[in-house]
Amino acid sequence: MSGEPSTSSQIYPAMSHPVADPAAFVVAARFAGFDAPDPARARVLEIGCATGHHLLPLALRWPQAEFTGLDVNPDAIQCARDLAHDAGLAGRVDFHACALEDFNADGKTWDIIIAHGFFSWVPDEVKRDMFAFCARHLATNGLAVVSFNVEAGWRARMEVIRKVRAIQQAGGGIDAIASLQLLRSATHDIDETIIIDDMLAKGPSILPFDDFAPVNDPWRLDAFAVEAEAAGLRWLGESVVANNRPPGWTAEDEAAAAEVRGRLAPGDFHHWMDERARRTFRSALLCRNDAAVTGKMSTSAVFDLALRPASPEPPADSGLARRIHAALMKNWPSAPAAEFLTAILPDVPASGLAREICREIIHGRFQARCEPLTIPQSIPHRPALDPLKLACVRRRLPVVDAWHRPCGFPDRQWPVLELMDGSLNLTELKSRAARIAPRLDFERWIAHLHERGMFPGGI
Ligand SMILES: C[S@@+](CC[C@H](N)C(=O)[O-])C[C@H]1O[C@@H](n2cnc3c(N)ncnc32)[C@H](O)[C@@H]1O
């Protein structure tokens, strides 16, 4: 039934998460002055990996890295193993159907530990176990990324959840969606209506695991950092550099922040921003307490990054940022910055270039990865999805793009995607698509898929 508490037989919907993509969060760690591991050769563990939808594309991307996934739900782990098998990745991820509390790591350490969508949905003792596990099993220069719901933005949502649960009880157990709809028709509070609409948009496959999960426990950042510290871990900031400022942060917010920044410790200052912006979500980077952290990104490290403008529109403010933006747009998909920026902009000193690039990354106008993408310059003559994408298409599961974003499709488009195994050329695909999905604008669609890096290996 929709909106009911999850049981072990209910599997979390297949998803991947750009904020927990090591190619992006290693950059955020370097911004904090932490010598983060190279993910292409790392030992990576995901706690609460569900059906492996986040981990398997990473295993395909980095053949020399080692992957372990664990989840308490045996059905989810079976799906992960089946998908790995069909995608030719059997044995590339060591999947365990096991609770974290019972997992025997056998003294092993990991360079990267991912716990996305885990912390807020487990009881307090498991939260403590997770911190202790990370402190014990991170390599010296290891990095953990742990997401959680933030109290500042969830306070009003928790009130809606409390009301819905009361309606459910009074209504003899009607489901959460029906109760939300009842509440929506009764409320005159605009803020409450916005929250209810947002919950309804998540739908019955997500809500039982998210807002209406048996445990849904939003935390304050300062409490999170203190608890992590007590276990032997240090909070480094958000896993995506630009997210250190809350979403929608304005110039007015920034002016108010300038007044309080110097008076508060970093954790308290970030909590102050969370409250002001009513932030709902964080994805925190943690390292071991005894690891070296300088607090500053080195200039040379900036030139190793692969950059991509977040928007094709050039930045409004600085002449130099506009020139870098134009160079990046021309060189898509982006190579490491050092390979072409210094050649294209020889009149700009390296330190000035690095400063400007950092500023654009901090403000979210450039997205940065620790390695370039391998995307052909033009759409391949015979577009081919990789075996993992094809296996996902056959199961009608979201396909993960080059930026680790999950991508779902309308019903009629799936059969067209199934044909993309490299055996048909563009003209043949177009004519098959015209029969299967007559309303599809094939040219635009295939260009969009190419932009998202869906055909890295086509010819
Ligand atoms: C909200 S889902 C998130 C799944 C995935 N990480 C994501 O973000 O898309 C939480 C997952 O953690 C798993 N889980 C819950 N408690 C666990 C525990 N004690 N040990 C291991 N896995 C657990 C659940 O089975 C579920 O698959």
Q: What are the structural domains of the chain?
A: 18-150+219-288 (3.40.50.150), 152-209 (no CATH), 299-369 (no CATH), 387-451 (no CATH)
- How confident is residue 1, by pLDDT bands cut at 50, 70 and 90? very low
Segment 175-179 mean pLDDT = 86
Write down the mean pLDDT value for the chain. Answer: 91
- Tell which one of 118, 126, 205 to mutate to probe ligand 1, the residue whose CB is within 8 A of the most ligand atoms: 118
pLDDT of residue 29: 95
**CA 46 to ligand 1: nearest atom:** 6
Per-residue pLDDT, 295:
80
Residue 102 pLDDT > 80, yes or no? yes
Cis ω on the peptide bond leading into residue 247 (within 30° of 0)? no
| Nearest residue by C-alpha to atom 13 in ligand 1 | 48
Taken as a whole, the chain contains a residue count of: 459
Distances (CA, A) of 41 to 61, 66, 247: 11, 7, 32
Q: What residue owns the CA closest to ligand 1's atom 20? A: 99
Q: How confident is the model at residue 201 (pLDDT cuts 50, 70, 90)?
A: very high
Q: What are the pLDDT digits (tens) for 370-416?
A: 998 878 888 999 999 999 999 999 999 999 999 999 999 999 999 99
For residue 99 and ligand 1, the question of a CB distance below 6 A is answered with: yes
Alpha carbons 278 and 347: distance in angstroms, whole number: 44
Which two structure tokens, joined as six digits, stand for 192? 């409450």
CA angle 448, 365, 377 (to 5 degrees): 35
Which residues have CB under 8 Å from 273's CB, separation 6+?
245, 246, 249, 253, 257, 279
Judged against a pLDDT cut of 50, whether residue 2 lies above it is answered with no
**Strands lying side by side in the sheet with 281-288:** 93-97, 66-71, 43-47, 110-115, 138-149, 281-288, 233-238
Q: Is the CB of 12 under 6 A from ligand 1?
A: yes
Average pLDDT over residues 37-58: 97
Centre of ligand 1 from the C-alpha of residue 72, in Å: 7
Average pLDDT over residues 83-97: 97
Of the listed ranges 47-51, 168-172, 226-230, 271-275, the one predicted with least confidence: 168-172
For 245, the token pair is: 């400022």
pLDDT digits (tens, 9 = 90+) for 133-172: 999 999 999 999 999 999 999 999 999 999 988 888 887 7
Q: Taking the alpha carbons of 107, 108, 113, 116 in that order, is the dihedral positive or negative?
A: negative
Confidence at residue 194, expressed as pLDDT on a 0 to 100 scale:
93
Mean pLDDT of the region 60-64: 97
Segment 285-344, tens digit of pLDDT: 999 999 999 888 887 788 889 998 999 898 887 788 999 998 888 877 767 787 778 888
- Single pTM value for the model: 0.93
Percent of the chain with pLDDT over 70: 97
Asked whether 116 lines ligand 1 (CB < 6 A), one says: yes
AA letter at 288:
R
pLDDT at site 3? 38
Query: Is 289 within 8 Å of 132 (Cβ atoms)?
Result: no
Residue 7 has pLDDT above 70, yes or no: no
